[in-house]
Structure 1
Amino acid sequence: MDIHYQIASSYKPDAHLIGSKTIKTGIEQYGSAPQEESKDFIKPERDSNLPYWIIIDTKGTLKGLLHEVRRFEFCKDVVIFISQDTPKDYINYLEKRNYDFHIVGKKNIDLDTSFKILSDKYNVKKILTDTGKILGNLLINNGFVKEISLLVHPVIVGKKSYNIFESINKNIGLKLFRYDIIDKDFIWLTYKVDNTKN
């Protein structure tokens, strides 16, 4: 995982876009989140060069867990995108804790509107997404991904493999523009994507 995070930080993004399921899974892997404290209800004051963490959470999956994300020292703060169908108790939870949140879409998130808000309000120009297949495939299918970075590990996974691109609805051309060998056994491949929006 160290190599993964080294690569991610090398992009110097304005924001990290992460799905709620990815965050919940990550928190659960390390046990349960600690109890909230009074400081968790206040926006952190951190270096303005740090990236925002942008989270799509229409179902309120992260209720009771967001303070764990906000505490992460390399995150400027958390911005949540929800829909009109998001449970009201989750909206109250966000308001009481002074999270920036935006309602964009009836049931699902309107990505075009979300990215416009990020650009206009938060001056976000470069977004790094490090997420699972649901959000990742949605972004690729809708032409929002300009670059794909893959880290090839020297392991044959077999039957337990995780097909991260299984919901891509058409063949998408890629153009290799960078490759590096890291620590002798890992290969970092970076591709430009052909189907991006202008």
Structure 2
Amino acid sequence: MAAHSLSGMRPHVVAQVAVSLDGRTSGFDIDVARFYALATLWQEDVTLVGADTILAQEAAVRSAPHPGPRPEGPLLAVVDSRARVREWEGLRHLGYWSDVLALYADQTPARPPDSTISELVTGYDRVDLVETLDVLGSRGARVVRVDSGGVLLGALLDLGLVDELALLVHPVVVGTGQRWSDGHRLDLQPAGTEVFEGGVVWLRYCLSP
């Protein structure tokens, strides 16, 4: 379960990752529609994403329709310690999220003086993820869904901040590339399994505290 903190109840953190049979996070065609359909089941208050994930999609963000913020949607919080993300307004208006929040550190490079993006500054040279979750919890967030299979997920696992893990396993062996769990030993408690057409398997686990 989510841990208690000085600011109250830390949000329940769930990470869903699309992986190959050999645990890779890229190099295969992800069933994107199913991935995000399943993700809605958690009804997250905050979608937590790393800057690398956003940067990889910046061209798509620029060219996508921009219907405007979705008031009932979750908040998009982006860990951006080096202030590399530029498409904030595009993200805000994609129609998925209610608003965007830039997560910065004390040593994050200066932002444009006319920026209207909400900021949360924690940590010295990189974002303090523990404090970030504490603050989000104090602001009423109950569920945070991590939309990352890379560095951000690894950092959260290192800190013991992930409460629930869902793997959408695709029937393909990639052979090379980044694994979702390199270097981590995890004690997992099975919470559900579902098999979909085409051989995609959804595995859900709770992580031992």
With the length of structure 1 as denominator, give the TM-score of the two structures.
0.81
Match of 2:25 in 1: none
Structure 1: which 5+ runs fail to align? none
| Higher normalized helix content (fraction of residues) | 1
Distance, in Å, in 2 between the alignment partners of 1:126 and 1:57 is 21
Match of 1:139 in 2: 156
Distance, in Å, in 2 between the alignment partners of 1:130 and 1:46 is 18
- Name the % identity: 22
Contact residue 19 and residue 132 of structure 1 kept, 8 A: no
Counterpart pick for 1:62 among 85, 96, 112: 85
Secondary structure of 1:55 counterpart:
strand
Contact residue 83 and residue 106 of structure 1 kept, 8 A: yes
Q: Deviations over 1:108-158 (max 9, x none)?
A: 11122211221223x111000011321001101101101100011111212
1:76–1:164 distance in 2 versus 1, CA, 3 Å: same
Match of 2:62 in 1: 33
The alignment of Structure 1 onto Structure 2 pairs a total of residues equal to 175
Secondary structure of 1:150 counterpart:
strand
The answer to which structure, 1 or 2, has the higher relative contact order (CA under 8 A, 6+ apart) is 2
Counterpart pick for 1:12 among 23, 43, 46: 43
Q: Deviations over 1:76-120 (max 9, x none)?
A: 0001110111111x2x35xx2421101111101112221122122
1:36-185 alignment to 2 at 5 Å?
46-47=70-71, 49-63=72-86, 65-88=87-110, 90=111, 92=112, 96-121=114-139, 123-158=140-175, 160-168=176-184, 171-185=185-199
- Partner AA of 1:154 in structure 2: P
Shift of 1:161: 3.6
Shift of 1:184: 4.4
Secondary structure of 2:77 counterpart:
strand
